[in-house]
Amino acid sequence: MQHDGKIAVVTGAAQGIGLACAEKLHAEGAKVVMGDVQGDKVAEAAAALDASGATAIGMACDVSSQAEINALAAKATDTFGRLDIMVNNAGLGVAATVLEITEEDFDRIIGINLKGTLFGSQAAARVMVEQENGGAIVNMSSAQALLAIPNSVPYGISKAGINQLTRIFAVSLADKNVRCNAVGPGTINTDMARNAVLSSDAAYRMILSRTPLGRLGEASEVASVVSFLASDEASYVTGQVIYPDGGRQPVNYVMPVPEELPEL
């Protein structure tokens, strides 16, 4: 198993992509500390991986608080003695146009998505630079870091910021044996996507029209990319953003969608 003996922290791990990442890393041998603002739910998710708590721990964590993200990283080192993998996945979106976005919503999204990623990376890096084997940080970006969606203002801005943050950390920590990469999913079949952009057949058809592979991605497919970037197999990869988006990036026209939509 490629993560045997490693210690990983995953934020936003109570559900969706974060949970899939924790499950994948755990299945590959890592001990995981799972953080989420939904404390009870993430504790249940960790118990489902290991009821004894010996290899999986759930902990309430609001990543927009530097103190709480520091405490999450400390939980890993206090419990398991080190921190090898940090997955900054926690994120949130809000629908609003450039004329409608409020200061409150902007601050909330930037605080969770971008500030949380910054201080999660920092907390992990401070541990990793002191370790002989360094470590790997993987940040959750989005296809929206590059593609503009009119009613997704702070989310797109936050994800573009994560791309640059990733590159800065990668260059700054390269001589300390700490790698930093990001993953930018397209539309993934999660509760968040279903609630936000899959509210009708017309919305689903629109998503598929810009997805050459003709289906939504699965959280497990994103987790596989995260696991690779966190592994020794990616030991010469840093400062990169990989987009598991079904081919969306190169599209400059819409794709034909069958009348009978694929099942969600």
H/E stretch holding 86: strand 85-88
Residues noted as catalytic: 155
Helix residue ranges per DSSP H, 57-152: 66-80, 103-109, 116-128
**For residues 263 and 63, what is the distance between their CA atoms, to the nearest angstrom?**
34
Please tell me the chain's helix, strand, coil percentages from 3-state DSSP, rounded to the nearest 5: 45, 15, 40
- Quote the tokens at residue 139: 């940040």
Distances (CA, A) of 47 to 14, 23, 44, 141: 11, 11, 5, 28
Reference 31, options 68, 58, 66; nearest CA is 58
- Quote the tokens at residue 141: 């970006």
**For residues 227 and 207, what is the distance between their CA atoms, to the nearest angstrom?**
26
**For residues 168 and 121, what is the distance between their CA atoms, to the nearest angstrom?**
11
